[in-house]
Amino acid sequence: MEKEFLPGETVVLAGKISPHLFLIKHGSVKLEGNGESFFLSEDDFFGEEGCFFGKPSLFNATAREETQLQLMDRTEAEEFFADNAKAAFTLFIKNSARANEKEEPFNAMSSMHIKLVAGVLPYVIEKSGTEPVYEAGIDLETLAAQIEIPTDNLIDLLNFSKVFGYVAFADGKILTCGKDKLAALFKKYNCEKIFAGVKGEKGTGTVSFLNVVNNKTNI
């Protein structure tokens, strides 16, 4: 069925269980909860936690303007996703993100990547360079021991890391960009972690390790 909501009218309250999946046919909806807010518009959907799992809504959902919603029960929702690959993929991504929300995303500034950068930094000779083409003066086994991960895991880490342009692995060799670029990333991470510690936030656990690398590299 479809239902009209006026501007400011509540669709779902946080903590309440709704049996419906809501598809926005026209208008827009504001979601607020857990200290964040965002907006959904035409063809977006919400309410899957109640529709499929009988769980309370994580957000207050409010119409921002005159909004028309399609309300689907579980059977209708299953048919909707079966016929709409894009929506099904969006649902997969949303639920995967929620399941892994406590895990640190792997990017250039993630602690594991920085630990890798810090591990090779003392063994980089070339001062300048923007791409990982210079061979680092350390082998896989030694680096794996220094950053305390198995060698196979290190190879996987290097393969994931190459997209960031600091460290890579090719032809059995650890390659890096110039020391200036590595050091700049390392310094940025170090400063941000110290600042987070001052504010009482998480993320200062590797400061002692970073200090050791600072001493080794004089940066």
pLDDT in tens, 43-55: 889 999 899 988 8
End-to-end CA, the chain: 64
Q: Are residues 20 and 118 in the same domain?
A: no
- Concatenated DSSP letters for 177-208? --HHHHHHHHHHHHHHHHHHHHTT-S--TTHH
- 84 located within any domain: yes
Q: Are residues 133 and 201 in the same domain?
A: yes
Higher pLDDT, 123 or 93: 123
% of the chain surpassing 90 pLDDT? 42
Max avg pLDDT among 18-22, 109-113, 156-160: 18-22
pTM over the 0.85 mark: no
Instruction: Tell me the residue range of the domain where 54 lies.
Output: 2-99
Q: What is the pLDDT of residue 211?
A: 44
Q: What is the pLDDT of residue 194?
A: 53
Q: Three-state SS string across 148-185, please?
A: CCCHHHHHHHHHHHHHHCCEEEECCEEEECCHHHHHHH
Q: Are residues 48 and 115 in the same domain?
A: no
What is the domain-level CATH number for residue 66?
A: 2.60.120.10
Name the residue among 63, 82, 64 with its Cα closest to residue 72.
82
Q: Are residues 159 and 211 in the same domain?
A: yes
- 11 located within any domain: yes
Q: What is the pLDDT of residue 27?
A: 94
Q: Are residues 95 and 124 in the same domain?
A: no
What's the number of domains the chain is made of?
Answer: 2
Q: Are residues 180 and 137 in the same domain?
A: yes
- Is residue 3 over pLDDT 60? yes
pLDDT of 130-177, one tens digit each? 899 999 999 999 999 988 889 998 998 898 888 899 999 999 899 999
Q: What is the pLDDT of residue 197?
A: 43
Q: Are residues 92 and 115 in the same domain?
A: no
- 127 located within any domain: yes
pLDDT of 84-95, one tens digit each? 888 888 888 777
Q: Taking all residues of the chain, what is their mean pLDDT, rounded to a whole number?
A: 83
Higher pLDDT, 185 or 210: 185
What is the domain-level CATH number for residue 170?
A: 1.10.10
Q: Are residues 94 and 123 in the same domain?
A: no
Q: Are residues 90 and 9 in the same domain?
A: yes
Q: Are residues 157 and 128 in the same domain?
A: yes
Helix axes 207-217, 179-198, angle to 10 degrees: 150
Q: Are residues 171 and 128 in the same domain?
A: yes
- 187 located within any domain: yes
- 116 located within any domain: yes
- Is residue 121 over pLDDT 70? yes
- 105 located within any domain: no
- 106 located within any domain: no
Q: Are residues 19 and 74 in the same domain?
A: yes
Q: Which two tokens stand for residue 67?
A: 């909004």
- Is residue 7 over pLDDT 60? yes
CA distances to 28, 30, 144 from 41, rounded to whole Å, are 4, 9, 48
Q: What is the pLDDT of residue 199?
A: 43
